[in-house]
Amino acid sequence: MRLLIATATAAAIAAAAGSAAGFAAGPAAIAPADTTFPPAVVALGDSIFHGIAAGGLCFTCHGPRAKGIPSLGPDLTDAQWLNGDGSYEFLVKTITTGVPKPKQAATPMLPMGGVNLSAAQVRAVAAYVYTLRPKR
């Protein structure tokens, strides 16, 4: 039920987020760490993460709340990163390439979680994951 509500909410904001892809398309969109992202970009990333936009499958391994699913995909909301420093650049790179040799999980993450995302969509979902980090 909680997933259903989250899904419906994300669908509603996804409709408003259509223009976000334009923002995330250019080189300038590779934002430095500790930046803030336009809400529409984060909303688009949220939709991709939850499979509402672009057929994203992230939630199937990382969980609908990105808290991880044992042996499938790690928690993306905690301060611990298995494969890098948790920076926005790290997220873009890791989501693009996947994780062929997982540190803990039983099976790899395919590039873009196994679906074909544009560079702009990768940056949007990276921005969304970036916002999940613990607040300091």
Q: Residue numbers of the site for ligand HEC (CB under 6 A)? A: 49, 56-58, 60-62, 72-74, 76, 81-84, 91, 94-95, 99, 102-105, 108-109, 112-114, 125, 129
Task: State in angstroms the smallest separation of the CB of 74 from ligand HEC.
Answer: 5
Task: State in angstroms the smallest separation of the CB of 76 from ligand HEC.
Answer: 6
Task: State in angstroms the smallest separation of the CB of 113 from ligand HEC.
Answer: 3
When the beta carbons of 10 and 56 are compared against ligand HEC, the nearer one is 56
Tell me how far CA of residue 13 lies from CA of 7, 39, 45, 92, 115, in angstroms.
10, 10, 11, 22, 22
Distance between CA atoms of residues 6 and 13, nearest Å: 11
Phi, psi of 18 (to 5 degrees): -50, -40
